[in-house]
């Protein structure tokens, strides 16, 4: 891919498009990547990140993480912090799958103990955790009960027996964004979401059994702090969000913002996909409250999925989940907007931080992370493809420039349509099983879309995040079993 001639390398892994690159840019745009990654980025990244730099109220820079690729509005991997008094809120800077996120769970089992029962485990998980387009969960809720989920998040799950108390401590924001208001969500959104609690969905969502091999541990001390203490320890990672509910919330407010953005507020954007409203406006505040409902639904969704995972492991190994050491490492979101305090030009300020396909990565000693991680920094989970592996990392003290944000995954290199043309799902499943990875999928086409070749090299992305001081590698986790939507 040809990069813009105006792109300047200003540090080892930092590239900048100046304000002169595009009329209307209020701040420069910065991309974190190695030369290999920057050369491979699609042209949409440069166009979109520079469009973000034109949004009212943006502070310092428009950013893109090392896994960046073309998305809706913002590039996936996009980050922008807004002054809440003068700036805007944009669904395109959050995503349709609001609070799509990652959760990592420990076991005290080893690969040798799990491998003989791997097929039984994956088959049972495939049965207990519905995957695929339009799938419904086992939790039966009325519309009013679902609204309680949307306002309470993981707290609802704890009250209803789907969580351990410590699960909430180990979830970003305690599993609930305060200020969610179900009065701000549409009946259509409720209709799409009320029966989807405890489901993976489709696309790049997955539930994976992984192994922490000794040779893949980068930092022994941090690994122990995060619960990786046994050679060839088995862990479970999963990736999902707010399903059709979050999609409808985003759709509803995009339509609203398009109707008021120019006529009512005189805001012009380079791309309709960046439809926005002033954050302090009635429309902006309504969306913020509705977005929090989708965030909380996603936290509850992942919590119920964890409950089912614990049930499966307990059944297969005939032990209580606590005996199996099935504690959480962390749950972190990567499609949100949040009010956070950050230091800008030497002054502490409240900012509205949009993270679109980007993960919060608070460093050691920061408020907002569990006490047990105060010395280590926040656990960060970067998911890779089902063929390669994923990473557990830690937030770093030096992350203030990016408002303590890092990458969220490996990032696509080809479209889903292209992947399906090049890869046959059934053959891929057979090939993966020969390599020791047992996969169950709801759709052969969906499996083909997620082939390893469709993604960037996760090792390159993780290395770039560390070299950029965004997050520090702790351990690379290798897949052995996978449930795909």
Gap between the Cα atoms of 171 and 214, Å rounded? 27
pTM above 0.85, yes or no: yes
Residue 385 annotated as part of some ligand binding site: yes
Output the pLDDT for position 203.
Answer: 84
Gap between the Cα atoms of 129 and 301, Å rounded? 11
Residue 415 annotated as part of some ligand binding site: no
Gap between the Cα atoms of 323 and 92, Å rounded? 43
Residue 408 annotated as part of some ligand binding site: yes
Output the pLDDT for position 120.
Answer: 98
Identify the CA nearest to 212 among candidates 184, 231, 187: 231
Output the pLDDT for position 1.
Answer: 59
Output the pLDDT for position 445.
Answer: 87
Residue 136 annotated as part of some ligand binding site: no
Residue 368 annotated as part of some ligand binding site: no
The domain spans of the chain are 8-84+101-484
- DSSP category for residue 400: G
Beta bridge partners of 7: none
**Dihedral (Cα; 215, 473, 48, 82), 10-degree rounding:** 160
Identify the CA nearest to 65 among candidates 401, 474, 299: 401
Q: Which fold has domain 8-84+101-484?
A: tRNA-splicing ligase RtcB (3.90.1860)
Q: Which residues are catalytic?
A: 408
Output the pLDDT for position 2.
Answer: 78
pLDDT in 10s for each residue of the chain, 485 residues: 579 999 999 999 999 999 999 999 999 999 999 999 999 999 999 999 999 999 999 999 999 999 999 999 999 999 999 999 999 999 999 999 999 999 999 999 999 999 999 999 999 999 999 998 888 999 999 999 999 999 999 999 999 999 999 999 999 999 999 999 999 999 999 999 999 999 999 888 999 999 999 999 999 999 999 999 999 999 999 999 999 999 999 999 999 999 999 999 999 999 999 999 999 999 999 999 999 999 999 999 999 999 999 999 999 999 999 999 999 999 999 999 999 999 999 999 999 999 999 999 999 999 999 999 999 999 999 999 888 999 999 999 988 999 999 999 988 887 888 888 888 889 989 998 999 999 999 888 888 888 878 888 999 999 999 999 999 999 999 999 999 97
Residue 204 annotated as part of some ligand binding site: yes
Output the pLDDT for position 421.
Answer: 87
């Amino acid at each position: 891919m040809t990069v813009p001639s105006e792109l300047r390398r200003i540090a080892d892994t930092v590239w900048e498009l100046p304000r002169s690159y595009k009329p209307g840019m209020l701040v420069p745009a910065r991309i974190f990547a190695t030369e290999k990654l920057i050369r491979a980025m699609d042209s949409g990244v440069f166009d979109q990140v520079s469009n973000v730099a034109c949004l009212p109220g943006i502070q310092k820079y428009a950013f893109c993480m090392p896994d960046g690729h073309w998305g809706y509005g913002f590039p996936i991997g996009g980050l922008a912090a807004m002054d809440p008094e003068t700036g805007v809120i944009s669904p395109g800077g959050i995503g349709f799958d609001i609070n799509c996120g990652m959760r990592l769970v420990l076991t005290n089992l080893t690969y040798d103990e799990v491998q003989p029962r791997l097929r039984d485990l994956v088959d049972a998980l495939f049965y207990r955790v519905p995957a695929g387009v339009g799938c419904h969960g086992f939790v039966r809720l009325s519309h009013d009960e679902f609204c309680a989920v949307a306002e309470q998040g993981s707290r609802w799950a704890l009250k209803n027996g789907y969580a351990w108390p410590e699960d909430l401590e180990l979830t970003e924001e305690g599993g609930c964004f305060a200020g969610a208001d179900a009065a701000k969500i549409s009946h259509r959104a409720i209709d799409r979401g009320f029966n989807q609690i405890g489901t993976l969905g489709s696309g790049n969502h997955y539930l994976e059994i992984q192994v922490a091999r000794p040779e893949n541990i980068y930092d022994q001390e941090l690994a122990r702090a995060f619960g990786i203490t046994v050679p060839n320890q088995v862990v479970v990672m999963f990736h999902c969000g707010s399903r059709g509910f979050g999609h409808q919330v985003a759709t509803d407010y995009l339509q609203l913002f398009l109707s008021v953005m120019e006529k009512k507020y005189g805001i012009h954007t380079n791309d309709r996909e960046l439809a926005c409203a002033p954050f302090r406006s009635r429309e902006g505040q309504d969306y913020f409250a509705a977005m929090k409902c989708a965030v909380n639904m996603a936290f509850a969704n992942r919590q119920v999925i964890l409950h089912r995972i614990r049930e499966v492991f307990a059944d297969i190994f005939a032990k209580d989940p606590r005996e199996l050491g099935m504690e959480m490492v962390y749950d972190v979101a990567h499609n949100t907007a949040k009010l956070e305090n950050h230091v800008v030009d030497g002054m502490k300020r409240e900012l509205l931080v949009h993270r679109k396909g980007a993960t919060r990565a608070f460093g050691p000693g920061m408020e907002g992370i569990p006490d047990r991680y105060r010395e280590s920094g926040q656990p960060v989970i970067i998911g890779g493809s089902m063929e390669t592996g994923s990473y557990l990392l830690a937030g770093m003290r030096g992350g203030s420039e990016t408002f303590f944000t890092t990458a969220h995954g490996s990032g696509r290199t080809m479209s889903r349509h292209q992947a399906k043309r090049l890869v046959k799902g059934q053959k891929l499943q057979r090939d993966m099983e020969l390599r020791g990875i047992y996969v169950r999928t709801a759709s052969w086409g969906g499996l083909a879309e997620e082939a390893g070749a469709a993604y960037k090299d996760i090792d390159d992305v993780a290395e770039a995040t560390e070299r950029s001081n965004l997050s520090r590698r702790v351990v690379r986790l290798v897949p052995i079993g996978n449930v795909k939507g």
